[in-house]
Amino acid sequence: MSLPPAPYPYSRPRRLRASPWRRRLVAETTLSPADLIWPLIVHDGDEAREPVPSMPGVERLSVRACAEAAREAVAMGLPAVALFPHVSPRVKDAQGSGATDPSGLIPDCIKAIKDAAPDLGVMCDVALDCYTDHGHDGLLREGVILNDETVARLCEQALVQAEAGADIIAPSDMMDGRVGAIRDALESEGHRDVMILSYAAKYASCFYGPYRDAVGSARALSGDKKTYQMDPANSDEALREVALDIGEGADAVMVKPGLAYLDIIQRVAERFEVPVFAYQVSGEYAMLKAAAANGWLDEDRAVIETLMAFRRAGCAGIVSYFAPRACRLLGA
Which stretches of the chain bind ligand PBG, using CB under 6 A?
Answer: 125, 127, 129, 137, 172-173, 208, 211-212, 225, 281-282
Per DSSP, the three-state class of 72 is helix
Instruction: Rank residues 116 and 133 by Cβ distance to ligand PBG and give the closer one.
Output: 133
Q: What gap in Å lies between CA 79 and CA 83, rounded to an integer?
A: 14
Distance CA 261, CA 202 (A): 10
Helices 105-116 & 147-164 angle (0-180, nearest 10): 30
| Residue among 124 and 273 whose Cβ is closer to ligand PBG | 124
Neighbours of 53 (CB within 10 A): 10
Instruction: Determine contact, residues 290/284, Cβ cutoff 8 Å.
Output: no
Q: Which helix (H) or strand (E) holds 49?
A: strand 49-51
Residue of 92, 114, 225, 256 marked active site? 256
Distance of CA 223 to CAs 124, 145, 274, 311, Å? 25, 11, 34, 34
At 48, is the secondary structure helix, strand, or coil?
coil
Find all residues with CB under 8 Å of 321, minimum gap 6, and list them: 38, 39, 55, 57, 58, 280, 282, 285
In whole angstroms, what is the distance from residue 280 CA to residue 307 CA? 8
Known catalytic residue: 225? no
Minimum CB distance to ligand PBG smaller for 108 or for 173: 173
Catalytic residue among 92, 114, 202, 225: 202
**In whole angstroms, how close is the CB of 138 to ligand PBG at the nearest point?**
10
Q: Please tell me the number of Cα atoms within 13 Å of 268 on its side-chain side.
A: 36
DSSP string, 132-196: BTT--SSEEETTEEEHHHHHHHHHHHHHHHHHHT-SEEEE-S--TTHHHHHHHHHHHTT-TT-EE
With respect to ligand PBG, which residue has the nearer C-beta, 208 or 322? 208
Contact 117, 75 (CB under 8 A): no
Tell the smallest beta-carbon distance from residue 18 to ligand PBG (Å): 40
* Residue 256 a catalytic site member: yes
Quick one: 290 or 331, whose CB is closer to ligand PBG?
290
Closest contact distance (angstroms) between CB of 152 and ligand PBG is 17
In angstroms, the CA 119 to CA 165 distance is 12
Rounded least distance, CB 172 to ligand PBG, Å: 4
Closest to ligand PBG by CB, 96 vs 314, is 96
CB of 224 to ligand PBG, least distance (A): 9
Closest contact distance (angstroms) between CB of 250 and ligand PBG is: 16
Residue 20 Cβ, how far from ligand PBG at the closest point, in Å?
Answer: 34
Nearer to ligand PBG, 41 or 276 (CB): 41
Q: Which residues are catalytic?
A: 202, 256
